[in-house]
């Protein structure tokens, strides 16, 4: 079995937070803790995650998650 590809935690990279089951964009690292700040792909409240809980996403997965966020937001506004 091979190891998963390393997660690039640079700002702007999309990752999946396995603990929360969400895809987000890295906005910042560290500071006063070892966590990583993430934000939803389209808009919303930021959250923190542990680097060990993050995995890279493909362009296809990023697009799918982005469309899901937009669709969910449109359903709430009806």
Q: Which residue has the higher pLDDT, 5 or 48?
A: 48
- What is the pTM assigned to this prediction? 0.76
Q: Which residues of 41-69 are buried (b: 16+ CB within 10 A; e: fewer)?
A: beeeeeeebeeeebebbeeeebeebbeeb
pLDDT digits (tens, 9 = 90+) for 10-61: 899 999 999 999 999 999 876 656 789 999 998 889 999 999 999 999 999 9
Find residue 47's DSSP bridge partners.
38
pLDDT of residue 74: 86
What are the extents of the domains in the chain? 14-76
Task: Quickly state the pLDDT bin for 76 (edges 50, 70, 90).
Answer: confident
């Amino acid at each position: 079995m091979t190891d998963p590809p390393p997660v690039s935690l640079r700002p702007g990279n999309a990752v999946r937070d396995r603990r929360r089951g969400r895809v987000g964009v890295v906005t910042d690292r560290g500071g006063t803790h070892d966590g990583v700040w993430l934000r939803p792909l389209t808009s919303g409240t930021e959250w923190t995650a542990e680097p060990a809980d993050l995995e890279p996403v493909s362009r296809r997965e990023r697009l799918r998650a982005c469309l899901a966020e937009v669709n969910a937001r449109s359903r709430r506004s009806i």
